[in-house]
Every structure is written in C-alpha cells, then in structure tokens.
Structure 1
Amino acid sequence: MSHVYVLTNQHQQFLSKSNEWIDGRESTKLFRTEHKDVAINQMFEANTRDVTLRIELLECALDTKKHPQIPAEALSDEPLLATEEGIAAGDPEELPQPDPSETPPEYNPEADPQPVPEVEPQPQPEVNPDQFPGTTPEVEPNQPPESVSGPA
C-alpha cells in the first residue's frame, strides 16, 4: 500500500474520520482508504448530507508512519477558524445564522387555528300527517310497539 484516497471539497477542507470537514494539517484525523470504491461511497454519503459541496478524491502518498502526505497546493492558505472545539463551545460568530427572510413569522394561524364557533341545531319542523294524504304512522298511538313486551 503506497497511497490512500482522501476526500476534499471546493473550500480546500478534508473529510475527517468523524465526518467533519477540517483543514488537512493534521493527517492523523483524516478519513482515508486504500480502496477507491470505498472512497467513492464515502464521497456519495458526504454529498447527500450537503448537496452544495463539490467533493473530489485526492490520491496521497503515505509517509513512514503510514499517514497521508497532503500536497501543499491542496491545503488552504489559512487554517480553519471554526474548529470542532469552537463549534462545541457554541461560538455564535462561527455558526451560520439564518437569513432574516427565512425566519418563521411570530404568529402562524395554521399552527394555532381558531376554534370553530358552535352553532345550535335548528329544531326539526313538526310534520302534520294530515298534510300528506296516504301516509299513516306504522304504530297507532294507543298500541305499544311489538318490541315492548307486556306485563310479566
């Protein structure tokens, strides 16, 4: 094994073993593999997390300790300001802030709908059987329905 593959993006950052984008100055923390197909799979997975990245494979030679030797032209001119410690500390300058046009409104009527007022049901009009000739009730007023049994 004389070389390994590492992943770099358009910002001259390198993918670490913990799937973070770091500068390539600490080669011990970099994701690396000797198999190109494994590197391509990792590139695909990293790109699905952030589709704006333009990720490339970089073939690097190994040093005597079997760590990748990153070419100087592949490294950025300055080290990254947002290190993992800075992000963990919650430095608000380093975290991306949402655009004001993307902030949710203070009041969302769809999230808190107004209750629908209850409406009293209108009484059913009383129908006089004499108004409709030929229709008679099935049960005579003085006779109990068949489902009711007599005195026991």
Structure 2
Amino acid sequence: MPNIMIHVYVLTNQHQQFLSKSGEWLDGREPNKLFRSEHKDVTINQMFEANTRDVSLRIELLQCDLNNKGQPLIPTEALADASGADPQDEPEIPPAAPEEVPPQQNPELNPQPAPEVAPEQTPEVVPEPTPVETPAQPDEHVSKSESTA
C-alpha cells in the first residue's frame, strides 16, 4: 500500500512570505515553487538553515493540507494581502530616530573642568633621634704584649 501524504510542512516568515525550493522568500501564491516536506524534522532543519542566512527573520512552521496535485494548500489568512504592496517595504516597527542631544549638553563640545579637591593633609611624622655611636675602643684589659703575639 503506498504511503499517502495528507499534509506537508512549509516555512513562513513575519512578512507572510514562504520559503521556496531555491531558498528565496515568495508570496506563496505559486505552491508548486514552495519548499515543503512531509517530515517535520526536515522542515525544522531547513528553518534553522534559513535563519542562519538572515537572523532578523522570525520563521514559523505551517502545516498545510494537500490539493489534488499534491501541492500545499496555503490558508488565505497566511498569505500576504493582495494590495500588491511588498511587505518588505513596510517594516512592522518603524526604526526609531536617535535622540538628539542639545549642543549645550554635549560633553565633547563643552568640557567641564574637573572639580577642585582640597589635598588631604598628610600626618606629620617626627623622625626618631639618631642614636649616638661611639667609636670602638680597644679593650683595656688586653695588654700590649698579648696583642702582638
């Protein structure tokens, strides 16, 4: 008995585009060009490969039934709107403009002098008096005759 597929997995991104067999992102209106697999693990591996090429994509797995030609039936809610607008032209979140710093607050343009700090008083160290050394004197007990011997 032949193995009959009842559904396949396809990959879609946040722009409602679908991964093609050639690795491009298409609108999904030509299901014969789409990447598809009956095996979920194969599709997950393909998702990781596509995401390493473009890490900004949010790729999802979509399970689709098959039409009578064995091609995936893409749900209409998963397709991009038919207005003809390219979803890549309209970012979901508009890029935020960096906040401008007024020139009077720019530390590079108007460097502030370092605050003056009073030097700490070092404790006064009183030197110890130098010990008085006396030159060594020959022993008085030793006689002259013993020292020459």
Shorter-chain TM-score tier: 0.5 to 0.7
Partner of 2:44: 40
Q: CA deviation at 1:81?
A: 4.8
Q: CA deviation at 1:80?
A: 6.3
Q: CA deviation at 1:73?
A: 0.1
Tell me, which stretches of 5 or more residues in structure 2 are unaligned?
90-149
Q: CA deviation at 1:76?
A: 0.4
Spell out, residue by residue over 1:39-64, the C-alpha distance to the aligned partner (whole angstroms, 9 max, x if none). 00000000000000000000000000
Residue in structure 1 matching 2:75, options 71, 78, 96: 71
> Percent identity over the alignment?
72
Distance 2:8 2:32 in 1: 13
AA in 2 matched with 1:62: L
Question: How many residues end up aligned between the 2 structures?
Answer: 83
CA distance 1:64–1:80, shift in 2 (3 Å): farther
Q: CA deviation at 1:37?
A: 0.1
Q: CA deviation at 1:38?
A: 0.2
List structure 1 segments (4+ residues) > 6 angstroms apart after TM superposition. Answer: none
AA in 2 matched with 1:44: F
Distance 1:10 1:81 in 2: 13
Instruction: Decide which structure has the larger Cα Rg and report it.
Output: 2
Tell me how large the CA RMSD over aligned residues is: 1.7
TM-score (norm 2): 0.53
Q: Residues 23 and 80 of structure 1 are in contact (CA less than 8 Å); yes or no, is this contact kept in structure 2?
A: no
Spell out, residue by residue over 1:95-131, the C-alpha distance to the aligned partner (whole angstroms, 9 max, x if none). xxxxxxxxxxxxxxxxxxxxxxxxxxxxxxxxxxxxx
Distance 2:45 2:23 in 1: 13
TM-score (norm 1): 0.52
AA in 2 matched with 1:37: D
Partner of 1:99: none
